[in-house]
Chain A
Amino acid sequence: MLARAPKAWHGFFPLKLLALPRIQGGQAGQVRYRPFSRQGPAETGRLGQPQGPRLRTRLLITALFGAGLGGAWLALRAEKEQWRQQQRTEALRRAAVGQGDFSLLDHRGQVRCKADFRGQWVLMYFGFTHCPDICPDELEKLVQVVQQLEAEPSLPPVQPLFITVDPERDDVAAMARYVKDFHPRLLGLTGSAEQVAQVSRSYRVYYSAGPKDEDQDYIVDHSIAIYLLSPDGIFTDYYGRARSAQQIADSVRRHMATFRSVLR
């Protein structure tokens, strides 16, 4: 029996590796064949048995095993992504970005501070209304992310924010004119030079107004990033120009899933 058993296994590649050590174990090896006896009584030795049903069963089991492995691989990959994101969030939290409060005027003239956004996920972008191309592109991208997430009723709504780095020109009226072209919920925030300097410092946003031309026009050089704040107001992640709306939306979804499970 023992001599014939290895031949019965050779069409069954993955489990052969598991079976071999057992085959070498003398009498005990025979007892262990029981779990695989769904192969049919023919497995224990009758070589004259037709290959048909045994081959089908073996292929089916191989396929199931393969599917199981595939599923496990996908699950592990998702888990790795989740872990990587948590590591990143932790590192960003330690960097203590966006700790201080801010006090700014929204584009309707109302005073807003950081606490006003507690309980909401926030995606914010720093820019200026006289921006040639980057700010409109990044805001379009931000809006696409918001719209993608809005389309999923199970997800909480995300508050889009646009904060100016050009308080000299971007007053409440200018902000109102600008934000209406992007999304009904996009909130523009402006303030005095000190207030803008404070919030930019807090979020580590670099900005520098360039030289003025004859029209008194100028371009503000500034760091480009979309910031994600969690509902407890903590800076959670940031996304540069290279990230697509799809990638950002996926990342926000992952953060939302982790956030619920950790704190609630």
Chain B
Amino acid sequence: MAAPSMKERQACWGARDAYWKCLDENTEDASQCKKLRSSFESSCPQQWIKYFDKRRDYLKFKEKFEAGEFQPSRTTEKS
């Protein structure tokens, strides 16, 4: 399977960005963005979709973490 060309990469990133923008607007409610999700899935290799989903999770986690929304768990507090 050949690697995506520059054009295909850019199409994939565009679809990803549109999908992520929709998620931003709908506070991560994926049910509102089904059409963009399927467009994203058809524009990108499966590995990339998994990768970008993980990346999204990480970026959201990082945002929350930096906003100080995480408390140490009770077990780590006690240890």
Interface of A toward B, CB cutoff 8 Å: 129-130, 132-133, 136, 169-170, 174, 177-178, 181, 213-219
Contacts and interface: CB of A to CB of B under 8 A. Distances in A.
B3 A219 contact: no
Query: DSSP class of B's interface residues: helix, strand, loop or mixed?
Result: helix
B42 to A, nearest CB: 14
B47 interface: yes
Given A132-B51, A133-B13, A177 B45 contact: no
B5 interface: yes
A217 B1 contact: yes
Nearest to A174: B3
B52 A181 contact: no
Interface of B: 1-6, 9, 13, 45-48, 50-52
A144 to B, nearest CB: 15
The 4 closest A-B pairs by CB, nearest first: A181-B6, A129-B3, A217-B47, A132-B48
Contacts of B2: 174, 177
13 contacts: A130-B4, A136-B6, A136-B9, A170-B3, A174-B2, A177-B2, A177-B5, A181-B5, A213-B47, A213-B50, A215-B47, A217-B1, A217-B46
Contacts of B1: 215-217
Nearest to B12: A132
A219 B47 contact: yes
Given A136-B9, A219-B51, A169 B46 contact: no
Query: DSSP class of A's interface residues: helix, strand, loop or mixed?
Result: loop
Specify which of A132, A174, A178 lies most central, judged by the most chain B CB atoms within 10 Å of its CB: A132
A214 B3 contact: no
A263 to B, nearest CB: 39
A213 B46 contact: yes
Contacts of A215: 1, 45-47
A181 B45 CA distance: 19
Contacts of A214: 46
Given A132-B47, A217-B1, 19 more contacts: A129-B3, A130-B3, A130-B47, A132-B48, A132-B51, A133-B13, A136-B9, A169-B3, A170-B3, A177-B2, A177-B3, A178-B3, A213-B46, A213-B47, A215-B1, A216-B1, A217-B46, A217-B47, A219-B51
A130 B3 CA distance: 5
A16 B56 CA distance: 63
Contacts of B4: 130
Nearest to A175: B3
Contacts of B46: 213-215, 217
A162 to B, nearest CB: 13
A70 B9 CA distance: 49
A104 B38 CA distance: 41
